[in-house]
């Protein structure tokens, strides 16, 4: 099973490590250590459907260990703090490539409202001014757009959330999701 995991995930894991560790030889060493941990802990995996989240958690913890060993007295390492406080789980990073195509597939009023507020950072008040609509109408468009986007995502994928409501894993319901088929998205 570990060999199958290696074939399937080693490139993704190495890329994840290289984004967080600048030394490429150290990244290779960390990857090797990750797979040693996977090999010794594979029996602790309780649900094979959650293997990707499990692998990336082991990888994240191994990187944290690397930074702690490198500077045991320096508790202010930016890299370590970024990893420990990482708000964006791997599943969320993967699914983000689907979001823009899904937003673009929404009806024009909702698409424009989400593109301007969520992606371009425009406040809902400024959205109302820009579209010459009431503030209440702008808020409604954004909320309805979010709702439609959530429905589109739920149609394509099943999601698993942690105790804080953050996305930790997802599984595609259909290999040819209509909302993602025109993109190179992973969802």
- Higher-pLDDT residue of 127 and 72 is 127
At residue 130, the 3 state secondary structure works out as: helix
Radius of gyration of the chain (CA): 20
CA distances from 95 to 49, 80, 183, 184 (A): 16, 25, 12, 11
Write out pLDDT tens, residues 128-175. Answer: 999 999 999 999 999 999 999 888 888 888 777 666 666 666 777 766
Return d(Cα 33, Cα 143) in angstroms, integer. Answer: 45
CA distances from 28 to 10, 78, 127, 152, 178 (A): 10, 21, 47, 38, 38
Ranges assigned E (strand) in 48-178: 157-161, 167-172
Q: Which domains does the chain have, with CATH numbers?
A: 2-84 (1.10.1740), 90-172 (1.10.10.10)
């Amino acid at each position: 099973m570990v060999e199958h995991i290696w074939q399937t995930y080693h490139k993704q894991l190495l890329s994840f490590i290289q984004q967080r560790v600048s030394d490429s030889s150290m990244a290779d060493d960390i990857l090797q250590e990750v797979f040693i941990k996977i090999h010794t802990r594979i029996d602790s995996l309780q649900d094979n459907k959650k293997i990707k989240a499990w692998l990336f958690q082991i990888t994240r913890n191994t990187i944290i260990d690397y930074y702690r060993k490198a500077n045991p007295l320096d508790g202010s390492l930016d890299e370590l703090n970024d990893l420990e406080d990482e708000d964006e789980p791997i599943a969320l990073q993967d699914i983000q490539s689907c979001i823009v195509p899904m937003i673009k597939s929404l009806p024009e009023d909702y698409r424009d409202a989400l593109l301007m507020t969520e992606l371009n950072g425009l406040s809902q008040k400024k959205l109302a001014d820009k579209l010459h609509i009431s503030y209440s109408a702008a808020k409604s468009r954004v909320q309805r757009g979010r709702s439609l986007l959530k429905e589109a995502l739920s149609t394509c994928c099943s999601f698993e959330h942690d105790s804080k409501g953050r996305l930790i894993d997802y599984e595609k319901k259909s290999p040819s999701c209509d909302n993602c088929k025109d993109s190179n998205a992973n969802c």
